[in-house]
Amino acid sequence: MYIYHTSEQMINRPRILYVEDDQTLSFVTRDNLVHRGYEIDAAENGEEAWKKFVENKYDLCIVDIMLPKMDGFSLAQKIRDRDLQVPIIFVTARSTREDKIHGLRLGGDDYITKPFSIEELVLKIEVFLKRRSIQIPDEVLAVQQINNRVTWDPANLVLATGDQKHTLTRREAELLSFLLRNRDKVLKREDLLIELWGHDHFFSSRSLDVFISRLRKHLGDHGVIIENVYNVGYRMKIS
């Protein structure tokens, strides 16, 4: 069990669960993150990580995919079953599109591929932590009647369609809210990517397609449509 505390000032600093079985990489990464002001709880396998997650509250999880005892995908699924809001960043030496798409469908929020720089990892961490710290006005969190069949409750991340209720992940919720705020407008892919990820990198573009597909599945055939606009982006239409 590795828990790093540099001083009493670590109280209220972002707490991250970091799951990595490569001890050398884990040590170097933890050391760098601690010096950047994060509190790090580290685990070397999926079962140990799950126990820590159940016992503690985290601001973000960094999860390697290839883990002993419980792989990263299985761990992420258990985390999502318990907590839909905590951001999950996958770390992997495998860069196949199928692996990445699978992780996103399980509820992951982003990926970083080995080898990576600390600066790249910190940038991804900060994107998520800054979003979590933003104070959202009460009127933005009010329940919205999108049409006579669809209701959106952003405060509780609940999308109701017909007689079904879907609890969204934070990333799905951010995307849905942005589309709703800009309904009937053609939104460029790069604008959506920067709004959600803070950049328009290639993989984030592929990730966007996954999140759009997940929202479409939730919305079903209830008069809320996310259209593809060829070579441009997307448009939400409501009937």
For the chain, which residues make up each domain, given as ranges?
Answer: 2-133, 144-238
Which of 148-152, 168-172, 203-207 ranks highest by mean pLDDT?
148-152
Same fold yes or no, 2-133 and 144-238: no
Fold classification of 2-133 (topology level): Rossmann fold (3.40.50)
The model's pTM: 0.68
Residue 141 pLDDT level (bands cut at 50, 70, 90): low
Q: Which top CATH class is 144-238? A: mainly alpha
pLDDT value for 2: 42
Residue 5 or residue 95, greater confidence:
95
- Concatenating the DSSP letter of every residue in the chain gives -EE---SGGGTTS-EEEEE-S-HHHHHHHHHHHHHTT-EEEEESSHHHHHHHHHHS--SEEEEESS-SSS-HHHHHHHHHHH-SSS-EEEEES---HHHHHHHHHTT--EEEESS--HHHHHHHHHHHHHHHHPPPPTTTTS-EE-SSSEEEETTTTEEEETTEEEEPPHHHHHHHHHHHHTTTS-EEHHHHHHHHHSS--HHHHHHHHHHHHHHHHHH-SSSEEEEEETTTEEEEEE-
